[in-house]
Amino acid sequence: MSRLVLLVLLSWALTVACSDDLPVAVTQPAGIPEEEVRRIVREEVQRALAAQTPAPDPDCDVATAAARALPSVVRIEVRDPRTGDLTGLGTGFVALAGGIVMTAAHVTGTSPRVDVIAADGRRFAAEVLRADPMRDVAVLRIPDRRLPAMRWADTATLTLGEPVRVVGFPYGRPDVSVTGGVLAGRSVSPERSRQELFTDAGADPGDSGGPLLTACGEALGVVSGRQTGSSSITVVVGGDTALPLALEAAKSP
């Protein structure tokens, strides 16, 4: 079985947090050991990270992070395909070159009509390549393949307490906002089959689907929402879950 075919099969069936200090919950295809699942997926993530442009200057601040990230951050509008009525609002970001946009699955829902509004105000009808409600990640494609893709950070190098940023369009407003905080925790959720990152950086309705950023403006994952029972902890689907899903969906013709 080729590596590409195996990765496609695994992406539907596994939860991976690839850092050595995190547990891994895997429901792997029959006959494939858990260690092999971990190795293959981690290699794919590392290959994607290595293919990026060189890392930016590590001496960064909030303004630097925002300046680097904002051209890749987009607003999401979901409409009823029959009436055109607005049914959902959120945030997204260009996750891969070629017009591949990520957002939260609860933002897109099951509607086939999703509009993406770029930072310069242009509006695109997006193709929904994949929506994964369990992991709360959706992958879209827009016709403009030239929008800048956000650089991804390696979640395996994260240190608890390091500064992070949430970028989004709260309450559907046209003006983007940036909130700061720290990385408060990380774990794997066997129930939702995903890596989760936790931060005290604020996320309001409308910020869902936007990126969690490092201090240098690199993506760490996709904002999912507030932790149940908490008004101060934001839950993010980590890159070790989100990036493989984007890589697989981008292979769609």
Among 106, 111, 200, 204, the active-site one is 106
CA distances from residue 195 to 82, 186, 239 in whole angstroms, order as listed: 36, 7, 8
**Shortest CA distance to 58 belongs to which of 236, 167, 218?**
218
- The packing angle between helices 34-50 and 3-11, to 10°, is 110
Token couple for 66: 């925002």
Give the residue carrying structure tokens 């890596």. 195
Establish whether 232 is a catalytic residue.
Answer: no
Written as one letter, the residue type at 229 is G
The single residue of 19, 193, 208, 224 carrying the catalytic annotation is 208
The residues with which 194 forms a beta bridge, in sequence order, are: 189
Catalytic residue, candidates 132, 136, 154, 207: 136
**Which residues have C-beta within 8 Å of that of residue 176, sequence separation ≥ 6?**
70, 73, 119, 167, 168, 169
| Contact indicator for 100, 141 with CB cutoff of 8 Å | yes
Check if 208 is active-site. yes
Active site residue 252: no
Q: Which contiguous run of DSSP H or E holds residue 115? A: strand 114-117
What is the distance between the alpha carbons of residues 173 and 7, in angstroms, rounded to a whole number? 38
**Residues with catalytic roles:** 106, 136, 208
